[in-house]
Chain A
């Protein structure tokens, strides 16, 4: 009893506590009702908003099927009907992932989704697009079939011309496979999590030239925006 009393009597962690600082920062920047909102502005009703979540859903299927393929090894899907099916699931999930991601990108472009302090969210999104292309590229070269050979033999010239080929050897299956199943997927996943956190932190952007803007319609600064954007 006396020991518990002494614990209870401990003073609250001071402001120098790293743990407390991080916890407070999370509470401030991304409270749970922002991370998992149960209410949204009424104008969040278009199907365009769906492209983001279906992109994430496709990524989940890409990862799940990719984990199964990597667990069984790169030869499995060539020799097994089940393996071929899982590879097909991976292949089509990737196609859907890119279709939805491009639609999401175009949707956000025409919504000018970078306004009111969301430029970094847009930029991270473009980086996700670029890293995803690189991830898919290494996947196509890890196929161990004629397509993989053809892409590698042709892609080497662009990689070498850019100087990248000296370090990123597309003819080296081991290097491409390692990058494809480990480093690049981790990179995409981390970037996507960061992107989602940024979206949830800020919330969805208001319609262009939303009512209450203190700026005149069409003012360029409305399209860059600072934090909060001065919106009401």
Chain B
């Protein structure tokens, strides 16, 4: 076997070589690209819209906040019925026997009702006998009774009124829910729930799984995203707030969400909107593998020969001076 060093010399034998300064080219490239990035940074800056806090949500749309919290108790939110890796309430996405969401189990356990409502209220109930009594009533009530209170309160919230940041509903039999929810709303509006949702028994924390799931369950967050043109129907994953470019390199991944079968209910070959994430991940994995294996795929590897773009790139070689140049 010949050494690679010898191979390169052998490979270029008979090819006219011309002077070339690699290091100079690299430094010119560094300067040029640096200048471009510097100018863009100075003139265009970068996006930085403040994050949504639970406090901002509770202050900005108290009815949505209380409705979402009530739905968490009822187990009807997205996170409550999600399935793995958070809980076992949902089946998760699958394609025939391919169900990776199930395979790895509940590795990031989240009990929406307890984590987002009951536990924060228990922590906030110190020195608040009304809240202690309401929580006691709730936890001692039978499941049927809890469901009746939740149904009635959820219906009443549809016509809720907001005054001075407080949510009021028509008189009805809601059990301890109004006391619980008014306290949760108050704690949230004061900013306390932002901290209570990330409490982990340790001083330091960097995991925002719980508050992000809770915020994502409401309509306030998705409404803001829609206003910022970030919704998935608007190719959201590759957008940024404002007019800034986002992850434009995800255009192909995002494209699939806009077309059948991944945006249809009927679907094709078992793929439809309900398992679009899994289907698109599988498709993109295959496409990425195909891109890597282009050198071995007949047809794909031959396109460059059929399309004469290479004649533009190597015009010095294919041009009229070809015979002279190759001396």
Contact = CB atoms under 8 A, between A and B. Distances in A.
Interface stretch (A11-19, A103-111, A184-192): A103-111
A172 B51 contact: no
B126 interface: no
B52 A146 contact: yes
Q: Which of B108, B236, B280, B317 has the most CB of A within 10 A?
A: B317
Nearest to B23: A36
Contacts of A57: 26, 29-30, 32-34
Of the listed residues B52, B307, B310, the one surrounded by the most CB atoms of chain A closer than 10 A to its CB is B310
Nearest to B289: A126
B186 to A, nearest CB: 24
Contacts of B44: 88, 92
B301 A163 contact: no
Contact of A53 (B3, B25, B84): B25
A30 B4 contact: yes
B36 interface: yes
Contact of A112 (B93, B206, B305): B305
Chain B interface, DSSP helix/strand/loop, else mixed: helix
B288 A36 contact: no
A118 B8 CA distance: 12
Interface in A11-68: 27-31, 34, 36-46, 48, 50, 53-54, 56-58, 60-61
A226 B107 CA distance: 47
B245 interface: yes
Contacts of B38: 89
B281 to A, nearest CB: 4
B207 A136 contact: no
A28 B294 contact: no
Contacts of B312: 46
B207 A171 contact: yes
Contacts of B326: 211
A38 B301 contact: no
Contacts of B15: 41-42, 206
A146 B241 contact: yes
B298 interface: yes
Interface stretch (B113-121, B142-150, B208-216): B208-216
B244 to A, nearest CB: 8
B8 A145 contact: no
A210 B82 CA distance: 58
Contacts of A181: none
Interface stretch (B59-67, B157-165, B187-195, B225-233): B225-233
A166 B51 contact: no
Contacts of A208: 304-305, 310, 314
Contacts of B247: 133, 136-137, 140, 151
A213 interface: no
B288 A229 contact: no
A179 interface: no
> Which of B47, B249, B312 has most chain A Cβ within 10 Å?
B249
A224 to B, nearest CB: 6
A157 B82 CA distance: 10
B97 interface: no
Interface string B310-327: 101111111000100110
Contacts of A223: 295, 301-302, 305
Contact of A109 (B40, B93, B100, B294): B294
Given A96-B36, A137-B247, A153-B215, 11 more contacts: A38-B22, A87-B46, A92-B36, A98-B249, A119-B295, A145-B47, A149-B212, A153-B221, A174-B206, A220-B298, A232-B13
Interface of B: 1-5, 7-8, 10-23, 25-26, 29-30, 32-34, 36-38, 40-42, 44-52, 82, 84-85, 92-93, 100-101, 103-105, 107-108, 205-209, 212-213, 215-216, 221, 224-225, 228, 230, 232, 236-237, 240-241, 244-250, 275, 277-278, 280-281, 288, 291-296, 298, 301-305, 307, 309-310, 312-318, 322, 325-326
8 contacts: A43-B317, A84-B45, A89-B38, A93-B33, A146-B49, A153-B216, A154-B237, A212-B14
